[in-house]
Structure 1
Amino acid sequence: MITQTYKERVAADLFARISSIKLNGQEVEIVSKVREKASVTVLTKRIDEEKKVEHVAIYDELGEVITERYSAVDVSNNRSLDFRFTFEVTD
């Protein structure tokens, strides 16, 4: 069984490594990054002019992908986007 202390250590490592988020290859500003015990939540700034979401990725301090998602979501006019990523370290 994985201890709570170890889960929190893994979350702290992830928290420290997250350095950037890109939407369709363009960096999006991180406005909030919070670690609470074994959970990490990252929130981006609102984006107003994007018309399609094709690729969203989180990168570490070395520019390596931590996680990424591909999609083909069209964004309606007069809509803004922000992205929230929550990671929870579990057994």
Structure 2
Amino acid sequence: MPTCSHLDQITAVAAPSSDGCQECLQSGDGWVHLRRCLTCGHIGCCDSSRNRHASRHYESTRHPVVVSAQPDENWGWCFPDRLFLEFTDEASR
């Protein structure tokens, strides 16, 4: 089974960077779902959203791992490994 080789880049970010997608809030756009970067806390919209800001954040920073910022969702995604990550609870991420 493949494993994520980027878990060492996860940092303890005290709080998300915003209450919604930072870029969409600035431009007045909406989003479908939100993702939180585990390196810096950036909140961006998912790839189902028009602007795909979470993916764009990865492309510009190379911060590899995001988690769902949706309530009761405990999963993440490693962009470079293209790997879905499942967590047992929110405290483990």
Structure-2-length-normalised TM-score = 0.30
Q: Which has the larger radius of gyration?
A: 1
Q: Where is the strand percentage greater, Structure 1 or Structure 2?
A: 1
